[in-house]
Every structure is written in C-alpha cells, then in structure tokens.
C-alpha cells in the first residue's frame, strides 16, 4: 500500500470561485485522491482557505464586517460549496489557524538563522488621509505599462504586469480614494531567494517526469532576470501573522505581519496539524506525512494548481523548505493546468462573467459539472467552456451512454425477471470477448490515472461505458428472451455486474452517481477490479436490487439558452 499526500492550490478567501478555478486545482486533485483511495492506498488530501493579505481586508471592509468575522464566514461558505462538489478533503483548513501562525513564525526563525532573511529599508506609499502605508491592493492608479486606469499596486489586471505601488501613475488610496499620498521609508524583511538559486535549479532539474507546462514555467522564472529575486515577506497590515522569530519577538518589526505569499504555502503543512487536532491525534500523526525524519520519506507528494501558481510552488515555497535546513517533505510531482475560458471570452470574478461554483450547484447536480470539467481539463493548452459543448457532452456521455445502459438493463430485468439478479444460463464467447476488451481498457484507464492524464482518463472511462452499450445492443436480451430466456438471464446477470463495475470505476469522476448505482444494487463492495472476470460475477443470482431513478437527465435547448443569457453578464 502506497501513501499519497495530495494538496490543491489554496483558494483565496474573498468570494466564491468560478468553474475555471475549480478545474485548475481542486477538482483534478479530488479525482486523483479518490482514485488512489479506490486502489486501496493511504491518502491525505488537504486544502484550505488563504485568508491573509489586502484582498481579505478590502473584501471585509466592503462587506462592512470585521476581517476575522468575514474570513470565518467565507471559510464556511467555501467549505459548504466544496462539499457540494464532492471534494473529498481529509481536512479543509484555514491559513489564519494557530497552527499556521506557529509554523510560519518557526520557518521565519530558521531562515533567519540560516542567513536567508535580511532587513531592508524601502520606500512605500503612505496615505495621510488614512494614516497608514498602502501596500499592494490598498493603492490604485494608472498602469505605467498599458495605461489601464484601475491597476492595483501589485499587478495590472489588464496587462498582467507585476507592479509595486510606487510604479503607479496618479495613485490613489483604495480605502478612501485620497490622492494626498507621499513616499516614506519603512523597514521590512526579505527572503534572499537569490541565494538559493543553485539548489533550486538542481532540484528542478532532478524532476524529469514533471509536465512540460510546470517545468517550462519554473525554469523561465529561475532564469529570468525578474524571476528569482529577493522578495519581501512582511507588510504593514493589521490582519495577518505577527512577525516573530519562532517564539521570540523580532526587534523593529513590531506591528507588522508576514506577507500572504510567505505564509499561505506553509498552510499546506499546518493543515495537516489542524487535521490532527480536529481528530484528537498526536503530532506524530501529521508529522509522518510531512517530516522525512518521522516517516514521510515513503510519501508520494503531489500538488495540483493553475499555471499562475507554479512560480510560487516551484521556487518560493521550496526555497522556504530547503532554506530551513530541516527534514520537511518536498513535492514530488506538480500537476499544473492552463486556463479554462468562458464562452468566447474569460471568466471574470470582478465582472461576474461565467458560472460560479454556487450557481453551478443551483442549476445542476455536481456530477454533471465534474464530468464536463474533467473530460475537458485544460492540460496541454487553454480550454473553453461553451454551453453547446456542455449540453452535448452531458447528453451523449452521461445520459445516452452510461445512463441509458443502466436504465435499459435494470428496467428490463424488473419486467422479465423481477428485481433480483436472475439465475440460469451461461455466459459465452460474446461475454468472454468483452471481458478481454474490458481488461485491456481498464488497465489503460489505470495507466492514465496514475500519470494524472485527466482527459485521457475520461476518454478511457467513456470507452469502457461504450463497450457495455455495444455488448447490450448486440446481445439483445429483449429479443433472445422470447425463445431462450436462460441465455437472456445470463446476459442480464452479466450486465447488472457491468453496472457495478462501472460504478466502481466511475466513482473518482462522478461519485454521487456511483453511490446511487451501488445503493440501487444493494452493494457495499467497492473493490477495484484487479481481476475483471471475478468483478463481473460479484452479484450472484438472487441478489436483490432496485431500479434507480434517472441517472442523468438530458439538458434541453431551452435550458441551455436560458443559462447562456443568465451567465453572460455581471452577477445580479
């Protein structure tokens, strides 16, 4: 039994995410976690909300709530939506947790001892009207690169160029709108990432199996003059983790907090500590996943993220881990994704363009979305969501192929043999040929899943469903029954076992539907089909079942047209 540590990129706390965010990290991570559990392996699947930084403070201010209250509320909202999509986290934590505070301060102390943190006097924008420094998104202005008038102090949303607040033209406070600003000196801590370049390059070069997307982004940042630079890890903010060296105060850093990019990745580790506390377990229970001196040397650690998160996970977070000089587990494999675009344009959180996770669950069950998103995952290039494609995929793959097979088999059995697996007859050459085909196809499905080839895995699973439909059409038990009911009984018994097999194989993609099928079959056996002939005789004659309700309803043209209009503009 292997051990798999799996983390999904941590979603930011300010608001509900859209489907592009979902397919870029959390959903494929859940697919992999469910698959590995299904194969009998031990899995620790972790995610959390990223709760610090200026966006959290600004979102809380806009909502008229204290930032701690806002973050607690939004964590509950995001957790509930994750449950709605069937994301099987072992723990969904919070970067504002006491565990993350302790670990972040611990890492800062170790990095300081290693000579990798230095104090820097820098110039920042100060608002006289607000009586405070304006880091990052607390300041807006005109982008010096493209002229966009609503650029933020950390990045221009229009041209994506990274900025410092002092770069902006005609800057103004995002809090009060005041232009009564001046540049003042302030002291901050910088992580000397540049000192880690050789170690990071050697580590990245050792990952010959990483996806091209991950490696190319990592090396571009590593070798780009603007990439691996020393980077500030503190901010003049009220909300965040107080700056300390372990448990000791940091002279000169009073009133400052660690910058969100520094503490957020450390939450991956802290999340496991939160899990241990929530379940009444000792520290050793989570340390065996994260410390190689406590048993994590045999753990396979996989991260899932969108391509915009790759630089932090291949350079900055590893610099923290390696620089600490302690035996922490480093990631083994990073599965990165391109962007999912929306119906001829882009998803936009600020403009409310596209389908957001809560809205998706309001109009259709999670499995409809899970299937489309995973079968169209933006792996080798950006992908695009269109309502026409979504309708076609749901109707053909889920309703016509899988759902139709289940309906035909169970309803025919009920009408001719009752709601029990029928006895009588023997399977023959046709069934033997299908078993051989399915064995080959299932092994291919496993290969793609192990390699985290999401689209290929979906295609392989669909081919397995199609094989059953073709068998049923050729066998035609409804016609055979008239002259040879025993042979028809054998064919239906075989087909009912196919439904059980499909449920087990499909559970990583469409877990709710899989559960419904196994419940209808009155079956608790979820064993993976290591031996296909045995798997296709698991339901014995006389085993009772019920005909399930419609597994997947087709999407009508009227529904599709309504949704196209509803999600084209700003959220109401």
Sequence ranges of the binding site for ATP: 349
Cα end-to-end span (Å), the chain = 49
Q: Which helix (H) or strand (E) holds 218?
A: helix 212-223
- The position carrying tokens 């991260």 is 303
Burial class (CB in 10 A: 0-12, 13-18, 19+), 301: buried
DSSP secondary structure letters along 412-476: HHHHHH-SBPPP-----HHHHHHHHHHHHHHHHHHHHHHTT-HHHHHHHHHHHHHHHHHHHHHH-
Q: Which two tokens stand for residue 569?
A: 């503009």
The answer to whether residues 214 and 314 touch, using CB atoms and an 8 Å cutoff, is yes
* Alpha-carbon span 367 to 72, nearest angstrom: 28
Q: Which helix (H) or strand (E) holds 222?
A: helix 212-223
DSSP secondary structure letters along 308-319: GGHHIIIIIHHH
Burial class (CB in 10 A: 0-12, 13-18, 19+), 56: buried
Q: Is the dihedral of CA 224, 225, 228, 232 positive or negative?
A: negative
* Alpha-carbon span 301 to 329, nearest angstrom: 8
Q: Three-state SS for 538?
A: coil
Residue set of the binding site: 143, 146, 156, 159, 349
Q: Three-state SS for 340?
A: strand
Q: 220-226 — which CB contacts under 8 Å span 24+ positions?
A: 221/311, 221/314, 221/315, 222/197, 222/315, 226/162
Please name the residue ranges forming H helices in 64-137.
Answer: 67-84, 98-113
Output phi, psi for 261, to 5 deg.
-70, -25
The answer to whether residues 164 and 218 touch, using CB atoms and an 8 Å cutoff, is no
The answer to whether residues 477 and 412 touch, using CB atoms and an 8 Å cutoff, is yes
Q: Which two tokens stand for residue 443?
A: 């092994």
Give one word for 249, left, alpha or beta, with left for phi > 0 and alpha for psi -120 to 50: beta
Nearest to 4 by CA among 38, 39, 45, 54: 45
Cα-based angle 52, 58, 62 (whole degrees, multiple of 5): 135
Residue set of the binding site for Zn(2+): 143, 146, 156, 159
């Amino acid at each position: 039994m292997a051990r798999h540590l799996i983390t999904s990129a941590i979603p930011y706390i300010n608001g509900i995410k859209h489907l592009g965010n979902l397919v870029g990290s959390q959903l494929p991570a859940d697919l992999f976690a469910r698959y590995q559990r299904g194969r009998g392996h031990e899995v620790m699947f972790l995610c959390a909300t990223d709760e610090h930084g200026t966006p959290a403070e600004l979102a809380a201010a806009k909502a008229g709530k204290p930032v701690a209250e806002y973050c607690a509320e939004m964590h509950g909202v995001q957790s509930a939506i994750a449950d709605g999509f069937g994301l099987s986290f072992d723990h969904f934590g919070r970067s504002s947790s006491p565990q993350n505070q302790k670990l972040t301060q611990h890492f800062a102390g170790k990095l300081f001892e290693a000579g990798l943190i230095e104090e820097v006097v820098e110039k920042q924008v100060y608002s006289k009207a607000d009586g405070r420094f304006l880091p990052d998104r607390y300041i807006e202005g005109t982008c010096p690169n493209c002229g966009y008038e609503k650029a933020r102090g950390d990045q221009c949303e229009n041209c994506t160029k990274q900025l410092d607040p002092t770069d902006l033209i005609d800057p103004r406070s995002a809090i009060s709108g005041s232009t009564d600003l001046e540049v003042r000196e302030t002291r901050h801590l910088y992580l000397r990432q540049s000192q880690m370049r050789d170690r990071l390059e050697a580590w990245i070069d050792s990952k010959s199996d990483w996806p091209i997307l991950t490696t190319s982004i990592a090396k571009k940042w590593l070798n780009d003059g603007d990439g691996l630079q020393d980077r500030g890890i503190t901010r003049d903010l009220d909300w965040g983790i107080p700056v300390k060296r372990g448990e000791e105060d940091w002279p000169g850093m009073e009133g400052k907090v660690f910058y969100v990019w520094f503490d957020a990745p450390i939450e991956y580790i802290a999340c496991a500590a939160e899990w241990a506390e929530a379940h009444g377990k000792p520290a050793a229970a989570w340390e065996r996943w994260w410390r190689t001196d406590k048993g994590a040397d045999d753990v396979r650690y996989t991260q899932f993220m969108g391509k915009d998160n790759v630089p932090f996970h291949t350079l900055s977070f590893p610099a923290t881990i390696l620089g600490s000089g302690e035996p922490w587990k480093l990631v083994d494999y990073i599965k990165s994704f391109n962007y999912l675009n929306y119906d001829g344009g882009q998803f936009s959180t600020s403009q409310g363009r596209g389908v957001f996770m809560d809205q998706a669950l309001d109009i259709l069950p999670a499995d409809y979305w899970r299937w489309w998103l995973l079968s169209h995952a933006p792996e080798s290039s950006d992908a695009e969501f269109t309502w026409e494609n979504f309708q076609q995929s749901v109707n053909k793959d889920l309703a016509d192929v899988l759902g139709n097979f289940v309906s035909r088999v169970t309803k025919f059995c009920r009408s001719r043999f009752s709601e029990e697996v029928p006895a009588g007859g023997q399977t023959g050459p046709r069934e033997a040929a299908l078993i051989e085909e399915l064995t080959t196809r299932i092994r291919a499905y496993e290969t793609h899943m192990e390699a985290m080839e999401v689209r290929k895995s979906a295609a392989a699973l669909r081919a397995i469903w199609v094989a059953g439909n073709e068998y049923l059409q050729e066998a035609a038990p409804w016609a055979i029954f008239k002259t040879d009911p025993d042979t028809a009984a054998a064919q239906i018994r075989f087909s009912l076992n196919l439904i059980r097999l499909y449920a087990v194989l499909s559970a990583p993609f469409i877990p709710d539907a899989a559960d419904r099928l196994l419940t209808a079959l009155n079956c608790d056996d979820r064993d993976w089909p290591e031996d296909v002939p045995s798997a296709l005789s698991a339901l014995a004659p006389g085993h009772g079942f019920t005909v399930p309700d419609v597994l997947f309803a087709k999407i009508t043209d009227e529904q599709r047209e309504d949704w196209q209009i509803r999600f084209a503009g700003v959220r109401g």
